[in-house]
């Protein structure tokens, strides 16, 4: 599915931020493990969370969705079960990595598969600590297909992350929770902490501390979780596309409600405000252990900035759309320490570079980032331009937003991947004044 942009758009109105993908997947896993009655509101019905739901149901979770989109987890008479058919996680790296930890902790015999993109992504950074913990995992040189077999995990496990990664941390925590093992994880800097917050919300015995700038998470071996209805806050990574759209377009003001404001995720707002973005945060509140708020965004004159060091792990998913903001900011933006982008759904640094080359945006690509020489002027398009999405939802949406600053429509190819994380992107962006044509 190709999408073509339109011109002379003005972004305005009020929209509700779609549910957080990471939280939606985590609450299914922890909820299924608790095996108690529970309703989840605000769940993101995108392909990635639905792949995780299907995988959990394959091992007997019995998760259902009602006509209003509410997710129901019920108390089962049976325990989790082995499955002869591979658990297909589709395009979901989060789903695969966290399910590996959960099912290793439960002690099942299973295999996993995924689509072409997921099958090319390295999983050794998850497999290695889980194997060290006692899991029996076989893979194809650290990639899919992957199989696990029943084994007992260590009663106490300590792991220091060589590279900050919320997915590795969460996978180990879920393995410890499911197996009743005590876990201590040391991360060089704090990464997104949805798993820790969710475990605390359900009553887990978990402690977080800081020693010499390192973040230490300790999960005790004895945990009695108590289920309660859960509300998924909005995904700030999805909101970022709407925010940048309002900042670079002829916007009279856009309000985005129910945006997740987890302190480990708001780096994208810090980066944009550093660039000069006019973003007002209102109605801050707490939902199911997560902070959220409403945002008002207005057209802004942006400037180039340097994005390096500690902020990078907390904006890693937003760097493609931040690169678009940088392309329409005055001066140079420098992004470094982001080599992790090379092993996402695509090589995102190369994918952004390819799109910039098609649009004539001056930039340089480094091993761990890029420099972008921006301009607030719209791009003068002389002939039809087709940009590859590289089968990556964040690349596709980023360049569709870039179309707001092009003098003529551009086409982004193979945009079906958008549905993995933002299933109503086309309808929602249309509702605030930006039409996309299939």
Residues 214-242 have pLDDT tens digits of 999 999 998 999 999 999 999 999 999 99
Residue 122 confidence (pLDDT):
92
- Position 79 scores a pLDDT of 87
pLDDT confidence of residue 76? 94
Q: How confident is the model at residue 173 (pLDDT cuts 50, 70, 90)?
A: very high
The pLDDT of residue 214: 93
What does the pLDDT read at residue 402? 98
Query: Above 90 in pLDDT, residue 251?
Result: no
Domains of the chain: 3-19+233-431 (3.65.10.10), 21-231 (3.65.10.10)
pLDDT at position 252: 85
Nearest to 356 by CA among 391, 388, 383: 388
CA dihedral for 23, 26, 27, 28, sign (positive or negative): positive
Give the model's pLDDT for residue 291. Answer: 97
Question: What tens digit of pLDDT does each residue of 365-378 get?
Answer: 999 999 999 999 99
CA distances from 372 to 99, 319, 364, 381, 428 (A): 37, 12, 7, 19, 29
Answer whether 271's CB lies under 8 Å from 301's CB: no
Helices (H), 114-165: 116-119, 124-133
Q: What is the mean pLDDT of the chain?
A: 96
Residue 275: predicted pLDDT? 98
The per-residue pLDDT for range 10-50, each reduced to its tens digit, is 899 999 999 999 999 999 999 999 999 999 999 999 999 99
Tell me what pLDDT residue 213 has.
85
- The pLDDT of residue 212 is 87
In this predicted model, what pLDDT tens digit does every residue of 259-307 receive, in sequence order? 999 999 999 999 999 999 999 999 999 999 999 999 999 999 999 999 9
Q: How far is CA 289 from the centre of its chain?
A: 18
- Residues above pLDDT 90, as percent of the chain: 92
User: What's the CA dihedral at 84, 86, 89, 91 to 10 degrees?
Assistant: -170
Sorted by sequence, the CB contacts under 8 Å of residue 387 that are 6+ apart come out as 354, 355, 358, 359, 399, 410, 411, 412, 413
Tell me the pLDDT band of 164, cut-offs 50, 70 and 90.
Answer: confident
Q: How high is the pLDDT of residue 418?
A: 95
Q: What is the pLDDT of residues 313-338, one digit of tens each?
A: 889 999 999 999 999 999 999 999 99
pTM across the whole model = 0.92
Question: Per-residue DSSP letters for 218-230?
Answer: EE-S--------E
134-154 per-position pLDDT tens digit? 999 999 999 999 999 999 999
Residue 145: is the preceding peptide bond cis (ω within 30°)? Answer: yes
Average pLDDT rounded to a whole number, residues 413-438: 94
Annotation says 317 is catalytic: yes
Q: Could you tell me where the beta strands, DSSP code E, fall in 198-311? A: 206-211, 214-219, 230-231, 253-260, 278-287, 290-298, 306-307
Please tell me which residue in 317, 337, 368, 391 is annotated as part of the active site.
Answer: 317
DSSP 68: T
pLDDT of residue 190: 87
Q: How many CB atoms within 10 Å of residue 350?
A: 15
The token pair at 37 is 């009655």
Q: Residue 8 pLDDT more than 90?
A: no
Does position 433 have pLDDT exceeding 90, yes or no?
yes
**CA–centroid distance for 329 within its chain:** 25
> pLDDT for 189-206, tens place per residue?
888 999 999 999 999 999
Phi/psi at 410 (5° precision): -120, 160
């Amino acid at each position: 599915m190709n999408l073509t942009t339109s011109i002379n758009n003005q972004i305005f109105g009020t929209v509700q931020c779609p549910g957080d993908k990471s939280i939606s997947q985590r609450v299914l896993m922890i909820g299924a493990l608790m095996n108690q009655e529970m309703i989840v509101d605000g769940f993101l019905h995108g392909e990635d969370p639905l792949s995780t739901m299907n995988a959990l149901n394959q091992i007997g979770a019995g998760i259902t969705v009602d006509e209003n989109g509410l997710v129901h987890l019920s108390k089962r008479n049976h325990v989790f079960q082995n499955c002869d058919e591979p658990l297909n996680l589709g395009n979901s790296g989060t789903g695969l990595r966290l399910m590996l930890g959960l099912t290793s902790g439960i002690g099942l015999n299973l295999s996993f598969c995924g689509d072409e993109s997921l099958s090319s992504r390295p999983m050794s950074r998850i497999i290695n600590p889980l194997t060290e913990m006692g899991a029996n995992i076989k893979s194809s040189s650290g990639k899919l297909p992957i199989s696990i077999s029943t084994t007992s995990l260590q009663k106490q496990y300590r792991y220091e992350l060589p590279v900050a990664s919320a997915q590795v941390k969460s996978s180990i925590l879920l393995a410890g929770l499911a197996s009743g093992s005590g876990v201590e994880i040391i991360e060089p800097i704090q990464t997104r902490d949805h798993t820790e917050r969710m475990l605390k919300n359900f009553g887990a015995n978990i402690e977080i501390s800081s020693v010499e700038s390192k973040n230490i998470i300790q999960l005790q071996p004895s945990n009695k979780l108590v289920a309660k209805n859960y509300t998924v806050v909005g995904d700030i990574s999805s909101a970022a596309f709407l925010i940048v759209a309002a900042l670079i377009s002829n916007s009279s003001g856009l309000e985005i409600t129910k945006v997740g404001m987890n302190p480990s995720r708001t780096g994208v707002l810090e980066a944009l405000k550093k660039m000069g973005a006019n973003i007002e945060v209102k109605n801050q509140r707490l939902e199911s252990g997560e902070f959220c708020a409403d945002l008002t965004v207005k057209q802004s004159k942006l400037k180039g900035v340097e994005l390096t060091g500690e902020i990078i792990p907390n904006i890693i998913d937003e760097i493609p759309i931040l690169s678009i903001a940088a392309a329409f900011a005055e001066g140079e933006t420098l992004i470094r320490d982001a080599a992790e982008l090379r092993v996402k759904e695509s090589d995102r640094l190369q994918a952004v570079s390819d799109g910039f080359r098609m649009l004539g945006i001056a930039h340089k690509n480094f091993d761990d980032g890029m420099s972008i020489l921006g301009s607030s002027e719209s791009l003068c398009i002389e002939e039809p331009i087709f940009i590859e999405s590289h089968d990556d939802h964040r690349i596709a949406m980023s360049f569709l937003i870039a179309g707001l600053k092009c003098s003529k429509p551009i086409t982004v190819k193979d945009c079906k991947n958008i549905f993995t994380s933002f299933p109503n992107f086309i309808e929602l962006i249309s509702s605030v004044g930006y039409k996309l044509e299939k």
